[in-house]
Amino acid sequence: MTRSSSFAVVAALSLVLVSTACTPADHAQDEQDLRQLVKAQTEAWNAHDATAWTRDFADDADFINIVGTVFQGRAEIETRHAAIFASIFKASHAEVTVRKIRFPSEDTAVVDTTHEVTGHTGLPPGVQNTEEGLLRTQMRYVLKRTQKQWRIVAGQNTDVKPVPKPVP
């Protein structure tokens, strides 16, 4: 093998290795796992089960609720949800749609969902239905994979305001 052909082989192999290293990871199984997590959480909401709803939060997770209150740690998030499941959201039903899943790094995911909640008997101060009888919110979760399991490390829920009525 000549020196120039050896160089060509090394260069070609280097390109293959670099392109393989830069290829985004296949996250098909991760997406499936994250969609299952959202599904299980939706089922827990509809069962009004705060323990099950918070099961996938990390122990030190932060959650910003619909009115901007920050809850720190899974225990506090669970306590707050137990309170709303026993009161204004006691008979509520949620339909949740995953809008987008991104992977900023191999073991980090951002999941955006839309929640449509009906059957509630009231809403927190400052929150209003998006449409008659329907509260729509946008939820964003940041998740980290630890020991092959996804955990929510941060979440934020934002209500979608109703469309303003036309000015006469």
Quick: pLDDT tens for 36-88.
999 999 999 999 999 999 999 999 999 999 999 999 999 999 999 999 999 99
CATH of span 28-159:
3.10.450.50
Task: Say whether pLDDT at 7 is over 80.
Answer: no
> What is the largest distance, in Å, between two alpha-carbon atoms of the chain?
85
**Cβ proximity of 106 and 138 under 8 Å:** no
Question: Could you give the 3-state DSSP secondary structure of residue 119?
Answer: coil
* 3 vs 69, higher pLDDT: 69
pLDDT value, residue 1? 54
User: What tokens were used for 131?
Assistant: 């449409």
In the chain, domain spans: 28-159
Helix (H) or strand (E) holding 51: helix 50-53
**Phi-psi bin for 148: left (phi > 0), alpha (psi -120 to 50), beta?**
left
Closest CA to 94 of 137, 35, 30: 137
Per-residue pLDDT averaged across 122-148, rounded?
A: 95
Task: Say whether pLDDT at 89 is over 80.
Answer: yes
pLDDT in tens, 69-78: 999 999 999 9
- Which band of pLDDT confidence, cut at 50, 70 and 90, is reported for residue 147? confident
